[in-house]
A and B are shown apart, each in its own frame.
Chain A
Amino acid sequence: MAKWLKELFEDYMEEELDDIPYSNQTPPIIGCIYFGSLKSLNENKPNKPLYFLIVDKIDYDIYEVLKVSDRYEFAKNTDILLDIGTMKIIIETNNNFYLKEDEINKFILIHQITEEELNNILAFRDGERPSHLKTGLTPLFEEDIRNKFKQEEFNQIKDYHMRIFEILAMPDVQIVELLPEHLHQYEMKYAASTDQKATYKDDMILYQGEDFIELVLDEKYLNKNVKITLDDKVIYEGVLKDQSIIIPYEGKQLDLDSLAEKINIQTEG
């Protein structure tokens, strides 16, 4: 087996695409397989084929994808073999990475798997072994060509796999720092423990916690360019990535109704 598998591996290492496939209209769809060039992601990379399957949307602009390859001859026991009609492919379940929407847009949607297939793939990745799934075999030693193939497959998308650390480093909530004097005027002179902790206004909820004020905006503002003002002072401007905005504040109970009246939300663009 080794000699001919080595020949195919050499071919795999050297191969490049004839042109650079690109798309200008493909929106990301979970459960779809895309085809394009590694070069589309990074000019400095070789013009090698790159396929991936979108399995999840993990943030407003970031999708988790699994690497896909048409070199099914190197399939391992962690790869699922799939016949998509035009070709046979492998879904590399242990080779995931993360792409932004504008990056995915450069790739061409070539196939959509069924919801059941997607669920099976994700279940397989989580350790289940549905018997009807066809997989590759297990290499005995690290030096096996199939392992070398996997290493190279990972190397191609390593930078995009590592994005998980950037994503994890991103704060979960949007924090807005305000000077204390901006809020002092709303402090209640005589506060009681029964005072209201939240108020509702049109398209937002205002909540006062122990050391913060939370502004929860309506879903319609999500991913939109918004400008939020308090007493004509801009306290937030930009794309709203999360419905929640936190304003750190340690002080007396605030008159939330009055405060809410002075908060204005505008969408831009």
Chain B
Amino acid sequence: MSRNYLIIRFFSENDRKGLEVIKNIFLKMLSNQTYSAVLNYYEEEDLFQEFLATKILPYKEHILEIFYNQNNGLVSYIRRMAKNFLTDFYISTKKTSENEVLEVINNKEGHEDGKMRSYFDLIGEKEDHTLGIEVEEIEDTLMKNLTSNEWLIFCYQISDKKEVYKTKHLTELKDDALYKRIERMKKRLREIAIEYSFSKEAFERFLQEKAQKICKRFEVNENG
């Protein structure tokens, strides 16, 4: 009997062999080098039960209706569903800070429905959560990658108090040299933005909400 047929039998007659086929497809996907990273945070069985509870069982009749008369494609579709589901968890472990991931996992029991919480749950809670995470990523990345001199030029470039910078920090720098430093700074920022695939929206918010605070240290004088 084909795997396609066994899955259909699970949907139509609750045949356990079909469930085993679905589980095997799921576990095979989970053993993939990329997606296995989620096992650092979640248990294999928990993930499968969540997949079953949120993606398979509620849509059993719908899937059966789609594939009942097809001899092919169901195995591929279940595999796509598994990958799609795991991507959600994969991103949650990558995009969210470690504390947030733990918070999400720990909150599982406290939640009314007892469901595991994923990346999309976080988005649901706070609409621009992904954007917020990316803004934090930009801050962390620039903190790690820019020297204090590069920060100075970055802050000078975005500041509307350029004279303060010139009189306090860049006194000995001629215009020509300043221009070259700005160009180098821009190139550096571009390299970082490309390497980390930062979005326009996140960068704009970083400039509005974070950069001003970071740059304040260059703008206040010794007396406060």
Q: Do A and B interact? A: yes
B87 at the interface (CB under 8 A from A): yes
Given that A8-B34, A86-B55 are known contacts, is A138 also in contact with B87, CB under 8 Å in the complex? Answer: no
Q: C-beta contact mask, A111-145 vs B, less than 8 Å → 1, else 0?
A: 00000000000000000000000000111110111
Of chain A, the residue at the smallest CB distance from B25 is A18
Q: How many residues of B contact A (CB 8 A)?
A: 47
Interface bits B199-223 vs A (CB < 8 Å: 1, else 0): 1111100000000000000000000
CB-defined contacts of A86 to chain B, threshold 8 Å: 55, 59, 62-63, 77, 81
Q: Is the interface of B mostly helix, strand, loop or mixed?
A: helix
Chain A CB within 8 A of B196 CB? yes
* Residue contact A2 to B58, C-beta cutoff 8 Å: no
Q: Is A1 at the interface (CB under 8 A from chain B)?
A: yes
Q: Within 8 Å CB of B147, what residues of A?
A: none
Given contacts A8-B34, A19-B73, contact A138 B91 (CB under 8 A): no
Q: Is A221 an interface residue (CB 8 A)?
A: no
Contact B34 A1 (CB under 8 A): no
The 8 A CB mask of A31-51 against B (1 = contact, 0 = none) is: 000011100000000000100
Contacts of A19 in B (CB 8 A): 4, 72-73, 75-76
Chain B residues whose C-beta falls within 8 Å of the C-beta of A139 in the assembled complex: 197, 199-200
Closest to A71 in B: B87
A-B contact pairs, 25 of them (CB 8 A): A1-B134, A11-B34, A15-B83, A17-B79, A18-B76, A19-B72, A21-B70, A21-B73, A21-B74, A21-B77, A23-B73, A70-B80, A70-B83, A72-B84, A73-B87, A86-B59, A88-B84, A108-B66, A108-B73, A137-B200, A138-B201, A140-B193, A140-B203, A141-B194, A145-B197
7 cross-chain pairs, A with B, having the tightest CB-CB distances, nearest first: A21-B73, A137-B199, A138-B200, A87-B84, A17-B76, A4-B94, A2-B196
Write the residues of chain B forming the contact surface with A, with a CB cutoff of 8 angstroms.
4, 32, 34, 55, 58-59, 62-63, 66-67, 69-70, 72-77, 79-81, 83-85, 87-88, 90-91, 94-95, 120, 130-131, 134, 137, 190, 193-203
The residues of A with any CB-CB pair to B shorter than 8 Å are 1-2, 4-5, 7-8, 10-11, 15, 17-23, 25, 35-37, 49, 70-73, 77, 83, 85-88, 108-110, 137-141, 143-146
